[in-house]
């Protein structure tokens, strides 16, 4: 499990585990430190995908199905052991949703709460930033269906996309580091392109509460679609910032407090 999961502070007596799923190109240090910020009732697992960090020598996942199968097979014992909640940001939200759906359909397991961040609901068209050249400058034109949008081959185009998503975040000048970011982002985006979900063919999949977070500068217009996916309550919070609003200390503090309250109020 140590290969798949980053857990910076083990809490064997925790009442619940929060499983965190990262964005495309993300690394576990960016969320794993939450394990030190939550109280002793919540233990944080951050999912480490192949192709990065201690798994750098492993091939990247080929598709969402194989990724979901790895995560569920490794974590199944822990997920049966005590209640759990999911937090997924951006493309990581779709991974968390696919894992939750698989757990519910195959094992009858369900998170006590789904926390979704900076992502469209999975029962609408899947989106990705489309980068176009206007007046010799890269600009964000629109959100287009990801499945019909080819992943850019050139590293510069990919890095421009990553840079715009991250708002004021500056990419390191080290060329090898930038190349690795571009490679990881590209491979993660390819996995996302294999994700599919058809709500019309099934009953409401979940009964847990869902909380949706987003940055005020990053518009998502279809969050209401989440109400079609659960019989639980759905709530929405807009915090100041861009796509990576959660990296701001003040927003991180709000997330920690709010997630704690939601989990402690769940029927554990």
Residue in 134, 104, 152, 97 with CA at minimum distance from that of residue 119: 97
Catalytic residue chosen out of the listed positions 89, 113, 120, 243 = 243
Distance of CA 54 to the CA centre of its chain: 20
Q: Is 243 a catalytic residue?
A: yes
Longest distance between any two alpha carbons in the chain, whole Å: 58
Q: How many CB atoms lie within 10 A of CB 241?
A: 20
Give the C-alpha separation, 11 to 15, whole Å: 9
Give the C-alpha separation, 25 to 186, whole Å: 8
Q: Is 117 a catalytic residue?
A: no
Cα of first residue to Cα of last residue in the chain, in angstroms, is: 24
Give the C-alpha separation, 188 to 61, whole Å: 8
Give the C-alpha separation, 63 to 16, whole Å: 29
Give the C-alpha separation, 7 to 102, whole Å: 23
How is residue 91 written in tokens?
A: 């493309």
Helix and strand numbers (H, E) in the chain are 7, 9
Instruction: Spell out the residues 6+ positions from residue 103 whose beta carbon is closer than 8 angstroms to its own.
Output: 72, 79, 109, 110
Catalytic residue chosen out of the listed positions 66, 73, 90, 143 = 90
Q: How many CB atoms lie within 10 A of CB 102?
A: 17
- Residue numbers annotated as active site: 90, 243
């Amino acid at each position: 499990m140590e290969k798949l999961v980053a857990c910076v502070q083990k809490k064997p007596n925790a009442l619940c585990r929060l499983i965190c799923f990262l964005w495309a190109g993300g690394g576990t240090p960016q969320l794993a430190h939450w394990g030190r910020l939550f109280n002793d009732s919540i233990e944080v697992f951050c999912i480490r995908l192949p192709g990065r960090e201690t798994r750098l020598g492993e091939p990247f996942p080929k598709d969402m199905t194989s990724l979901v199968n790895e995560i569920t097979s490794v974590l199944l014992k822990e997920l049966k052991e005590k209640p759990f909640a999911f937090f997924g940001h951006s493309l990581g939200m779709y991974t968390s949703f696919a894992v939750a759906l698989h757990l519910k359909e195959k094992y009858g397991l369900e998170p006590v709460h789904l926390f979704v961040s900076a992502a469209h609901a999975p029962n609408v068209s899947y989106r990705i930033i489309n980068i176009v050249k206007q007046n010799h400058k890269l600009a964000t034109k629109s959100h287009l269906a990801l499945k019909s949008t080819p992943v850019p081959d050139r590293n510069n185009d990919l890095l421009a996309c990553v840079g715009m998503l991250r708002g004021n975040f500056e990419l390191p000048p080290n060329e090898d580091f930038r190349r690795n970011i571009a490679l990881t982002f590209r491979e993660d985006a390819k996995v996302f392109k294999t994700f599919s979900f058809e709500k019309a063919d099934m009953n409401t999949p979940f009964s847990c509460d869902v909380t949706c977070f987003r940055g005020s500068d990053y518009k998502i217009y279809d969050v209401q679609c989440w109400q079609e996916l659960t019989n639980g309550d759905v709530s929405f919070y807009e915090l100041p910032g861009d796509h990576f609003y959660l990296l701001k200390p003040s927003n991180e503090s709000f997330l920690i407090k709010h997630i704690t309250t939601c989990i402690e109020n769940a029927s554990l």
